[in-house]
Chains A and B, each alone.
Chain A
Amino acid sequence: MSGSLTFDSSSAAFFGGVRSAFMSVFFLVLAGTYVGLGALAHDFGLSIYWLTLSTMLVWAAPAQVILISGIGTGAALIEVALAITLSAIRLFPMVVALLPLVRTRDTRLRDLILPTHFTSVSMWVESLRLLPMLEPERRAAFCNGLSVGYMGAAIGFGFVGYYLAAGLPSLLAATLLFLTPLSFLISTARNARMMMDRLALGFGLVLGALLTILHVDFDLMWAGIGGGTLAYVIHRVREAAT
């Protein structure tokens, strides 16, 4: 897509956003992730209403995976909450980078609450790509439409995975469950453009595996803080050397 996107009204911008959601590559990533999450929720005995509500409220696939597998395996709830809050730190810089694009001089704080809640990897990447092509007054509506499109698709694919997992032979059910780690791994690698992001991904994989095998408490927290800080320090040292 090139040039500018113009809409006559806010509702036209909203539906333009919904249409963009269905045409983007993230539609497929969401399909993979949420079919997998649906299968996972079914496997751990959670209801489809619970899964749908968690998609609407949490709206972050990594946090939902931690939550579902935490409840399912009976992990300590404080540890689950800590792992979720650590996985969610990335939402903070995303919101900080997104809102200046959505905001105009007349925007009230409450008009920013929805775009803030909707912020997630897929919506953020597409918003940063598409919003600069729109007039500032239409951006919030477009952004909300884009997000509603993604969220609606995620809820629908959650249903698909949930009911497929119930009736599938076990090998096919296993491939559905495999979609979650596989699509996370590959879409995270795709988003990692800087060396620091790639290092963080690699260190996190190795540390996460080691700490899990050694049954260290709070393994995810240490993998995140340790792997992330190491990647950040190497990035700073390399930057200082050039």
Chain B
Amino acid sequence: MSGAVADLWPFLVLITVGFLPNEIWRALGLVLARGLNEDSQVVMWSRAVATATLAGVIAKLLLFSSGSLAAIPLGVRLGAAAIGFVAFLLAKRSVFAGVAIGEVALLAGGYLFAR
């Protein structure tokens, strides 16, 4: 691969693999916005699939972390996520409290159990 192609490759992937498969659903929404309401069954099902897909992404990122996060033991990563989640529930569903406490737990666990 020549230098210019190698430089442009990530941008080509961005358009074809990132932008288009994502944008198609927005475009479809624009075209079909008239026919459907928020409570229709197709809309309900697609919301459930979208939520489960996102959850799958989260599980994958936690289990098979990359870069520096991979150096933190798996138990610490899962424990910190669980602590953050419990903090979120206890703090009246505050996203900020959950994220802050989960991060502190990871920092503490990473410091104590560093490899």
| Chain A residues at the B interface, C-beta cutoff of 8 Å | 25, 28-29, 32, 39-40, 43-44, 46-47, 50, 53-54, 57-58, 60, 62-67, 69-73, 77, 80-97, 99-100, 109, 112-113, 116-117, 119, 165, 170-175, 177-190, 192, 196-197, 199-209, 211-213, 219-221, 223-229, 231-232, 235
Contacts of A183 in B (CB 8 A): 95, 99
Interface on B for A, CB 8 Å cutoff? 10-11, 13-19, 21-30, 32-33, 36-38, 43-69, 71-72, 77, 80-81, 84-85, 88, 93, 95-96, 98-99, 102-103, 106-107, 110-111, 114
Q: Are B26 and A95 in contact (CB under 8 A)?
A: yes
Contact check, B55 vs A203: say whether CB atoms are below 8 A apart: yes
Q: Are B18 and A96 in touch, CB under 8 angstroms?
A: no
B60 touches A113 (CB 8 A): no
**Quick check: A173 and B68 within 8 Å, CB to CB?**
yes
Contact of A227 with B56 at beta-carbon distance under 8 Å, contacts A70-B17, A189-B88, A235-B48 already known: yes
Report Cα–Cα, A62/B58, bound state, in Å: 9
Of B25, B36, B54, B106, which is within 8 A of A174 by CB? B106
| B103 touching A223, Cβ below 8 Å | no
Q: Once the chains bind, are A28 and B95 in contact (CB under 8 Å)?
A: yes
Q: How far is the CB of A121 from chain B (nearest CB, A)?
A: 9
Is B28 a contact of A92 with CB atoms below 8 Å?
Answer: yes
Interface pair B96/A89, CB less than 8 Å apart: no
Classify the interface of chain B: helix, strand, loop or mixed: helix
Contacting residue for B26 out of A71, A81, A116, CB 8 A:
A116
Contacts of A184 in B (CB 8 A): 54, 57-58, 61
| A116-B26, A175-B107, A228-B52 as given contacts; A43 in contact with B66, CB under 8 Å | yes
Q: Contacts of B96 on A, CB cut-off 8 Å?
A: 25, 28
Contact B52 A177 (CB under 8 A): no
Query: Which residues of the partner chain A approach B60 to less than 8 Å between Cβ atoms?
Result: 208-209, 212, 219-220
A167 and B55 CA atoms in complex are apart in Å by 31
Shortest CB–CB separation between residue B107 and chain A, in angstroms?
A: 5
Are B51 and A204 in touch, CB under 8 angstroms?
yes
Can you report 24 A-B residue pairs in the complex whose CB atoms are below 8 A from each other? A58-B22, A60-B22, A67-B18, A69-B61, A71-B10, A77-B17, A90-B50, A95-B29, A117-B26, A171-B72, A171-B107, A180-B61, A181-B61, A184-B61, A201-B55, A204-B59, A206-B59, A207-B56, A220-B60, A223-B53, A224-B56, A227-B49, A228-B53, A235-B48
Chain B residues with CB under 8 Å of A86's CB are 49-50, 53
- Taking a contact as CB atoms under 8 Å apart, the answer to whether B10 and A50 are in contact is yes
Q: Across the two chains, which residue of chain A brings its CB closest to B78?
A: A209
Tell which of A80, A171, A182 has the most Cβ of chain B within 10 Å.
A182
Taking CB atoms, residues of chain B closer than 8 Å to A119 are 26, 29
